[in-house]
A = this chain, B = another copy of it.
Amino acid sequence: MAAPLRLGIAGLGTVGIGVVKIVQRHADLIAARTGREVVITAVCARDKTRNRDADLSAYAWESDPVALARRPDVDLFIEVMGGSEGPARLATEAAIAAGKDVVTANKALLAHHGQALAEAAEKAGRVIRFEAAVAGGIPVIKALTEGLAGNAIRRVMGVMNGTCNYILTRMEDAGLPYAQVFEEARQLGYLEADPNLDVGGIDAAHKLSLLAAIAFGTRVSFDAVEMEGIGAISIDDIRHAADMEYRIKLLGVAQLTGRGLEQRMTPCLVPMESPLGQLQGGTNMVVLEGDSVGQIVLRGAGAGEGPTASAVMGDVMDIARGLRLATFGQPATGLAVPVAAAVATPAAWYLRVTLVDKPGALAKIAAALGEAGISIDRMRQYTHQEGSARVLIVTHKATRDDVTDALSRFGATGVVLGEPVALRIEDV
């Protein structure tokens, strides 16, 4: 049997403790599957005195993650602290510099510094693995990098922030407004300290940018993700969408077009009967489309102690087995800088407009759409409140520029009350 693989774990929150538990509970199973012992030699967290749900007495304690990363009795550095800067970054850099492999759950770190870290790891002959950073327990990095390696990837899509999907599902099920469900989620501890990471789409966009880099062989390009959060989604829109057999999801889409790489993380309508439309609650789903394989759908828990620790351990056991791969599936120095394309792939759109209840108002809206070059697939009008009517429109395929043009023409008609809502309907 090979020498034991010695782990140092930086971060003893939910994920770190989850990893400790698996290593302790499944020592035999891990050894049988990898052909070697996997042991923890040292751990690190800010507060040593905090009561934790695991016995850590057998491990050396470090208060500084950089010191942990440099310990000679650590072969593999596990970074589960989080944060794109500060200790997580410094310790990861130190680990690579000290010749350690790295397994991380840190999407923010890789979204911002993935290229530099991958190049450093490559130069040092070390690997960085990050299955746990995207879609929790779903082995999607592996599926994309390895399982689908023979495919030119056409599109990657995903619902990858469980909190947002929980909020949207709960709004629909309970008929509650966004603000109230947001507050519920906060009290349940579902939201990050900065909730905008969740509901603003940032966390999910971090994940999307990592998938896009692997899928298209380009450098991580988080700044080019077009982002829109779920804060403006109303219970009315959720209900109207449902009336037309759609659900609203915070959906990430990355695709290579003739104009370049489109990456967006925005609320979209998807058919209720599609796998994405059927995804309720905090579960995650990733859809991978390849030129040979067609569409592969992966579904599972996107967060939580067990699922995230499972993903970390998958990476750890790959390394224990000697499976070594470039960070983004090919040499980092060879990754192209992507041409960031503004989102221009045409789509059908859902438009919600409130009109003054006057003869000819609807005709003016229809005319404005026509002038913007947009044709109408379906239209419904409801009496809304005294003196106003609500109009829902599903367009035929149009670019976002055309839709923006139409919305500005709506303003000029003088019959529109308030701000119209426009949401993309993704072909899934």
Contact = CB atoms under 8 A, between A and B. Distances in A.
Given A275-B299, A278-B278, A330-B32, A148 B292 contact: no
A292 B294 CA distance: 30
Given A32-B330, A295-B300, A296-B300, A142 B138 contact: no
Contact of A146 (B18, B137, B317): B317
Contact of A35 (B147, B300, B311, B331): B331
A309 interface: yes
Contacts of A35: 330-331
A298 B301 contact: no
Nearest to A151: B310
A216 to B, nearest CB: 11
A307 interface: yes
Interface string A98-113: 0000000000000000
B325 A307 contact: no
A142 B146 contact: yes
A290 B26 CA distance: 12
Query: Dominant SS at the A interface?
Result: mixed
Contacts of A217: 29, 32-33
A151 to B, nearest CB: 6
Contacts of A142: 139, 142-143, 146-147
Contacts of A331: 35
Contacts of A321: 325
A189 interface: no
A150 B32 contact: no
A306 interface: yes
Interface string A16-33: 001000100010011011
Contacts of A147: 131, 139, 142-143, 311, 314
Contacts of A313: 149-151, 292
A256 to B, nearest CB: 12
18 contacts: A29-B152, A29-B217, A32-B217, A34-B149, A35-B331, A139-B148, A142-B146, A146-B317, A149-B317, A292-B310, A293-B311, A294-B304, A294-B307, A295-B300, A297-B300, A299-B299, A323-B323, A323-B324
